[in-house]
Structure 1
Amino acid sequence: MYPRLKSLVVAMLCALLATGCAKTQAAPETTSGPTPLTASAALGDFATVDYCSLLDVPAVAPGAVATPTFETCRADLGGRTILVGPLAFDSDPNIKPYAYLGPVPDGVAVQQSMFNDRTACTRAITFADGNRLELSVTDSGDDQAGRCGVADAVVGSVLDAVTANKVRRLKFPERSWGLVAPCVLLDNNDLDAVAGAGTRPAIGLSGHSCIRGKVSFKLTVETDEAKAPAGPPETVGGREARVRVAGAFCLVDTTQPAAGLPGHRELAELSVVETAGTAGDGTCAMARTAANAILPRLPTA
């Protein structure tokens, strides 16, 4: 009886624990779907993106002259300007859904902006991580359909470049302000009174701008033909600069030649905001104090 009882018990256990008495089967293979495209995966290091590598000038604007800045690409032709960049993350109430007809990578959305739509057609490419790349086509004409046709072509050019891994990197020459970490300059005890007690620097997406409390600092490139700010030049922080009021801000600008980019200059722009309303002499006094702490630390070309 014992062997028969043992067999019966084993049979019962096998019925209860079928997986233990049956031949093990491999779990079915799972197939992963498309990976949503983030801005960091598409563009890499934001601080060194050559945004002009995203713009196929011969296809989109034959004959246009494209110039990279630290955070944009600007292409000009016959009074029309195409701007690719900058990157942004903050919400913008002007951005609305848009039925872009071209192919779009997984996780990416193409939107339109209604801001200034009488002279500009603006698009936004929003990646899966919420970061968006803004682009616009601007001219003085009244052909909005024509501008938007070019804008859609620019969207296609950008998406083609990022999906084909054609994004190039900027190479900053020695002593270029493109090599400067702006938040390092704002992490300065001399700015405590101006920026606000307890404030800490917060870097922008591009890596070329920083905000600390009431103080903002941005580094970029502009053309030599760009109109100089109003007001006489003065020496601030050992550099020739211009100080001006713009609404709630007082701004201090200084420039140096842009090495390797004839006809362009690097621009350092510092601003202090007046939280109580319109900026005035008191705000500009604080802006000069901040500039005296920051500008001497910039390299000289």
Structure 2
Amino acid sequence: MRRAVAEAAVSGVVSAITERRVGRLSFAENSLGRLDPCPLLDIPEVAAVPGADRELEPSVHGHRCRRGTVSLTFDRTGLPATGEDGQAETAELTVYQQEGEADEQTCAHARTLATLSWPELP
């Protein structure tokens, strides 16, 4: 039973794609959707954060990038509805705290990286 359901689902997805029934989002010139977050994490200041001295890990969809303990995500949300399509774009910078690191130290890393990244956003 499960196999039949899975095969039907896959068949439906393949059909929708091959028949071009799947649309693609188009982003305005000043949209975060046009940006790749990985270059914003490919700076020495990010590598200096404990646990972030790793390779960049881009997401499949291109709107999130992670470098060890640091992550940058561009997203869309319906709240607050400020965009033309009722969507608002968000940028989320996350710095994961390492064992033994003081809260203030982790916050200081996040503030520094936000200060460097935010001016690069539309």
Shorter-normalised TM-score: what interval? 0.7 to 0.9
CA contact (8 A) 1:216 1:270 kept: yes
CA radius of gyration, larger in: 1
RMSD: 3.0
Map 1:71-220 onto structure 2 (within 5 A). Answer: 99-102=2-5, 104=7, 158-194=13-49, 196=51, 198-220=53-75
1:195 to 1:282, Cα distance in 2 relative to 1, 3 A: closer
Q: Which runs of 5+ in 1 are unaligned?
A: 1-97, 111-124, 126-155, 227-256
Structure 2 counterparts to residues 278-293 of structure 1, below 5 A: 280-293=103-116
- 1:290/1:195 Cα in 2 relative to 1: closer, same or farther (>3 Å)? farther
- Give the structure with the larger strand fraction: 1
Alignment check: 8 A CA contact 2:58 2:66 kept: yes
- Structure 1 runs of 4+ with >3 Å offset: 100-103, 156-160, 195-198
2-structure distance, mates of 1:165, 1:279: 52
1:87 aligns with none
- Give TM-score scaled by structure 2 length: 0.80
Structure that is richer in helix per residue: 2
Structure 2 SS opposite 1:296? helix
Identity of aligned residues (%): 36
- Aligned length in residues: 122
Report the CA distance between 1:100 and its aligned residue. 4.8
Q: CA deviation at 1:201?
A: 1.7
1:224 to 2:79 alignment: yes
How big is each residue's C-alpha offset from its partner over 1:193-251, in whole Å with a ceiling of 9 and x where there is no partner? 1264642322011110000121000001011259xxxxxxxxxxxxxxxxxxxxxxxxx
Q: Is the 8 A contact 2:49 2:109 kept in 1?
A: yes
Letter in 2 for 1:184: P
Q: What TM-score comes out, normalization by structure 1 length? A: 0.36
Contact 1:191 1:293 in 2 (8 A): no
Q: Please give the secondary structure, in 2, of the residue aligned with 1:167.
A: coil
